[in-house]
Amino acid sequence: MTDTSLEFATIRELATRIRAGGLSPVTLAETRLERIAALDKRLHAFIATTADRALAEARAAETLLRGGHDLGPLHGIPYAVKDLYDVTGLATTAGTRLLAGNVAAQDSAPVRRLAAAGMVLVGKTHTVQFAFGGVGINHDHGTPHNPWSPTPMAPGGSSSGSGVAVGAGLLPVALGSDTGGSVRIPAALCGTVGLKTTVGRIGRSGVYPLSWTLDTVGPLTRSVEDAALVYQALQGTDAADETTVGVTPHDVLASLGDGVKGLRLAFGETMFFDDVDPEIAAAVREAGRVLRELGASVGSMAVPEVAEAMAEQRRASMVAAEALAVNGRLIDEQFDALDPVVAHRMKTGRGLSATDYFVVLRQWAALRERVRRTLADVDALLVPATMIPPRPLASIDASAESYGDANLRYLRNPAVGNLLALCAVVLPCGFTRDGLPIGLMVYAKPFDEAMALRVARAYEQATDWHRRRPDLGWAR
């Protein structure tokens, strides 16, 4: 394996080389920083790199390993975080220059957990302003460039920089956040794996909020196993996040390789396939055939709670209202300095009454209880991650109407999972005729990340889609 083979290596592959003595954490960190410096002028995935911290952490990781202290499979592995995560001494800008002075006094809870696992932080990645959008566009800091096309295409949002960083082989893993698809959309559009966790699984203190009700933390990775490894380290109680109290961590690695023989899977037919691009629909149906050949029972089922959740017209205002609780001062005082698309969408939260807010919360709670019963006899749902593949940014950003249409088509299938508290894995299941990634989404019941990962891993191992690499000659 040459140094260039590090570009798209998985965590497991890198960890094996480190323990065999053929690769040092310091060398690995240096090569990642060099690749970022070489390609990110065009890719624009990073808002900041943390070279000094990365090299210090890499040296510490190497010293521990030489002394016989192995912290586990993540020890010495480089990663990045979305610019919502507090990192000591760096500004958490949440995608806006107005927060350039918002310097963190300490690391966020997820960063502390990954540091404890021996990981090496190399930087922070771009996000949609306030993490409020599924396309991935940022008119303030600039939009990351989807690695699969020299023509600027939607990278997916809001964890756009994390999706591009992993999709382009800059790093094996980057953290995102998911309120309505913000891990899964960039994973689908950039050809990576994305894990949407259940609220309560991973502490969110020190992560700039969009919607405290719906926000989740999750990784974007090169493989399903990598997502499981990072998720395993991120779990646990966070005293500053009450949703994690009483949630017992679970071992997702024990069942990861158990396959799908005897499992009950189903295509979610209510809404998920409606108006979906034909190439995407065909690829997802084909994924079901592959899983059936692996021994799973794959049928189809209606999920009426999906349509009911999406029919609630106040759902977007719910997120906007919670976002205003954090960003209201900026909206009121510096509206014209904000991204106009984001600012206008967020301002709609002003029209939601307190009564309506609590009515919708109770509706969501009732739907979540009902969907548990609906899904009682299936282990997972198979659905398209997005309705459309990456589209040219120029056409999306041409007008408010074209942006709104694309945003809806990227968000619809993922967002319902947040409303119903489902967990999910997105992974590659094909490519369009234009060579752009297609994502399969595996939905599992709340707190059953082990099942979502298990199904996704079985499919990944039976196919080669995840082994495809973008041609980045245009970015050099």
What residues are annotated to the active site? 82, 158, 182
Kindly write down the DSSP assignment for every residue of 412-440, as one continuous string: HHHHHHHHTT-EEEEEEEEE-TTS-EEEE
Q: Are strands 264-268 and 380-384 parallel, antiparallel or unpaired?
A: parallel
Q: Supply angle C-alpha 263, 267, 268, rounded to 5.
A: 120
Alpha carbon 176 to chain centroid, angstroms: 5
Strand order in the sheet with 297-301: 46-49, 120-125, 78-82, 173-178, 216-221, 193-196, 423-431, 437-444, 380-384, 264-268, 297-301
From the list 405, 408, 418, 412, the residue with the least C-alpha distance to 383 is 412
Assigned token pair, 388: 């459309």
Alpha carbons 458 and 191: distance in angstroms, whole number: 17
Q: Are strands 173-178 and 120-125 parallel, antiparallel or unpaired?
A: unpaired
Strand partners, 423: 444
130 contacts 210 by C-beta, under 8 angstroms: yes
Cα distances from 414 to residues 1, 37, 64, 345, in angstroms, run: 37, 33, 41, 19
* Torsion sign (Cα): 398, 400, 402, 404: positive
Kindly write down the DSSP assignment for every residue of 256-272, as one continuous string: TTS-STT-EEEEE-SST
- Phi, psi torsion values for 183, nearest 5 degrees: -95, -45
Half-sphere exposure of 391 (CA within 13 A, CB side): 19
127 contacts 174 by C-beta, under 8 angstroms: no
Residue 225 parent element (H or E): helix 224-234
Buried b (16+ CB within 10 A) or exposed e, 78-113: bbbbbbbbbbbebbbbbbbebbeeeebeebbbbbbb
Buried b (16+ CB within 10 A) or exposed e, 326-337: bbeebbeeeeee
Q: What is the number of other CB atoms lying within 10 angstroms of the CB of residue 184?
A: 36
Residues 6+ apart with CB under 8 A from 98: 330, 334, 337, 338
- Phi, psi torsion values for 207, nearest 5 degrees: -110, 120
Alpha helices, DSSP H only, in 2-122? 11-20, 25-43, 51-66, 109-116
